[in-house]
Amino acid sequence: MPLISPAAMWLDEVARAGSIRGAAAKLNVSPSAVNRQILNLEAEYGTDLFERLPRGMRLTAAGEVLVAEIRRWQHDQERARRHLSELRGMVRGHASIGLMESISGQVASRLMTFMRERRSHVSIDVTVGGTAQIVDQLLTGQIDLAICYAVPRQNQIQILATVGPTPGIVVARDHPLAGRRRIRLADCEDYSFVLPDTSLTVRRTLDEAFEAASFKPTVIITTNSVEVMKTLVREHGQIAMLGLPDVQKEVIEGQLVHIPFQDRFVVGSYLSLVAAKQHRLSPVASMLASLMRDILHDLPSS
């Protein structure tokens, strides 16, 4: 049984068809029955919902308001049906997530393993981008969940899990600094850096650190790509300033070395799993949130 009354659905159909007869044919009922429903609604709301024209029906301003609400109700009802079906395991579920480039591969791989092991029928859209882009898509409902750095403090955002900052430099295993257990910015003055460009939120934090330390790095290349940074570190002896989760795979494989800062000029950024408060998570998105929380907590924090 639909939660929305037949009268409301018939009103919407008349608006779509532009005539009583057209709507009646689509609904497979008599035109008189449709007309009676429209008249009853107009009497109930105390206003005309349609202009009766020689060649059909046209919504009044009041009718447009009511039809817009009916269509929103229909959309909400369909979403509720999908959620209930997902709970019963009857249909394929779907969710969309946003990830930072540096962790996107390992997170997507863990999600794929999870789905295959459980023979799940869930499908996922994965968007890779910077924090500003991801947060914007989260708040507009384009994605359900996100993992990103330096999430802005906004009332519309809820933080589901977080990993503390791990500021440091990243160098190749044969770099002269690779044997250090900890590092100061001053120790890096003889070497060149590859830095994030201003489109990434971390750049402002780094610039503030350089200013506080009175340190002017030698910079050959700036980029918005963590992968480009890691390539230049690995193949051209550059220094990058990245968190440990960004280079976990390469550190484990022995390609790169992450050296934490000894001084406190670089504070680093928290990596957080977030959702929008105003958008209720579907059962599929809730399941993914639980899994992504585990993935986040498995990332190195020291």
Pairwise CA distance, residues 134 & 276, whole Å? 11
Are both 159 and 173 inside the same structural domain?
Answer: no
Q: How many domains does the chain have?
A: 3
pLDDT surpassing 60 at residue 109: yes
Residue 141: which CATH number? 3.40.190.10
Judge contact between 236 and 243, C-beta under 8 A.
no
**Residue 192's CATH number:** 3.40.190.290
pLDDT value of position 243:
85
The torsion region of residue 195 among left (phi > 0), alpha (psi -120 to 50) and beta comes to beta
Instruction: Say if residue 256 is in the same domain as residue 199.
Output: yes
Strand partners, 183: 261
Residues 154 and 280 in one domain: yes
Same domain for 144 and 189, yes or no, is no
Provide the β-strand partners of residue 271: 149, 163
Enclosing domain of residue 212 = 168-260
For residue 54, what pLDDT is reported? 86
Task: Please say if the pLDDT value at position 88 is more than 80.
Answer: no
Same domain, 149 and 289: yes
State the pLDDT at residue 78: 72
In a domain, 25, yes or no: yes
pLDDT over threshold 50, residue 194: yes
Whether 42 and 113 map to the same domain: the answer is no
* Claim to verify: residue 82 and residue 204 sit in the same structural domain: no
- pLDDT at site 232: 96
Least confident of 21-30, 46-55, 116-125: 116-125
Any domain includes 144: yes
Radius of gyration of the CA atoms of the chain, in A: 28
How much is the pLDDT for 123? Answer: 86
Considering the domain architecture, whether residues 277 and 129 belong to the same structural domain is answered as yes
Tell me how far CA of residue 288 lies from CA of 1, 111, 124, 132, 141, in angstroms: 31, 8, 9, 22, 16
* Position 12 pLDDT exceeds 50: yes
Q: What is the mean pLDDT of the chain?
A: 87
Tell me which of 68, 88, 108 is where a domain ends: 88
Domain boundary among the residues 61, 88, 115 is at 88
Q: Which pair of tokens denotes residue 144? A: 């359900």
* pLDDT band, residue 90 (cuts 50/70/90): very low
Which of the listed residues 26, 57, 88 is the one where a domain comes to its end?
A: 88
Domain assignment present for 18: yes
Tokens coding 269: 């950024």
**pLDDT(137) > 70:** yes
pLDDT tops 70 at residue 253: yes
User: Quick check: is 142 in a domain?
Assistant: yes
Residues 147 and 217 in one domain: no
Same domain, 201 and 84: no
Q: Is residue 1 part of a domain?
A: no
Residue 107 included in any domain: yes
- Do 159 and 174 lie in one domain? The reply is no
CATH assignment of the domain containing 42? 1.10.10.10
Q: For residue 265, is it within any domain? A: no
Q: Is residue 129 part of a domain?
A: yes
Same domain, 159 and 274: yes
